Structure 1
Amino acid sequence: MNDDPTSPELEKLRFLYRVQLSQVAQTERWIAAELGKLREIASRRPLPEGPQYVLSYLRVGGKPTVDSVHLGDCSMASHHTKPISEEQARQAITAGGIRACETCRPDSDLGVLE
């Protein structure tokens, strides 16, 4: 038998506690369901597109030096790149004297003849 003292007020508080635990459990289920929906939506969302053109940098004498212009997804670009606009890429190849990558050929994509 239970030797704990009891009273009508204590019984009401225990009942309230059980109700609140049930409500917390329900809220946790709602949160889990909403997170599942958000994850599903996020998995269907396309990945953000990378830059269309990048400047590739090399270290010369410990300083970063622009090496070449690449298409944004070119695997020949160095690990040190800076995204640039189409106009900046065109200007870098024509007026800037920066070479275009011979693999991805951004100059062809830009309509620039070297």
Structure 2
Amino acid sequence: MNDRPSPSRLDLLYFARRVVVQQARANLAQLDRWIAVEERREVERRMGEARRPKAPEWLVERGIGAGAPAVRIHAGGCHMAKGVRVQAVSEEEARRALYGHVEACSHCNPDTVLRVILE
């Protein structure tokens, strides 16, 4: 049969400790790799935001045709202000347009944001 003596309880506990330490090191190394990947993603996200041009605060939507008059004023992030007939304007230009009876977008309500009271 087997001539080797069976390991003592203490030997088995030391062996179990070595296995746990090895697994912990492997798990810690994996966790460190995940952290490094996430840190790189965060840096890339911040760099992308820094490079992205700032969206205009106010937009004027023009009618169809060259030189068409303003139809509607939008806040810069309005989802309704899409297309080639939209151009950026300053806050003062947006205010003047609203006072000049250009319609305010009913989705982003630039008249409320600009505190323009129309009757």
Under TM normalisation by the shorter chain, which class is it? 0.5 to 0.7
Deviation of the 1:41 alpha carbon: 5.8
Aligned-residue offset at 1:76: 1.2
Is 1:71 paired with 2:75?
yes
Q: CA deviation at 1:50?
A: 0.3
Q: How far apart are the structure 2 equivalents of 1:76 and 1:100?
A: 12
Per the alignment, in what secondary structure is the counterpart of residue 88 of structure 1?
helix
1:86 corresponds to which residue?
91
5+ long unaligned stretches in structure 2: 1-41
Amino acid aligned to 2:56:
P
Equivalent residues in 2 for 1:29-108 (5 A)?
A: 43-45=45-47, 46=49, 47-59=52-64, 62-63=65-66, 64-79=68-83, 80-94=85-99, 96-108=100-112
Q: How does the TM-score come out when normalised to structure 1?
A: 0.55
C-alpha RMSD of matched pairs (Å) = 2.1
Normalization by structure 2: what TM-score? Answer: 0.53
- Count of residue pairs the alignment pairs up: 73
Aligned to 2:117: 113
Q: Which has the higher strand share?
A: 1
Percentage identity across aligned positions? 33
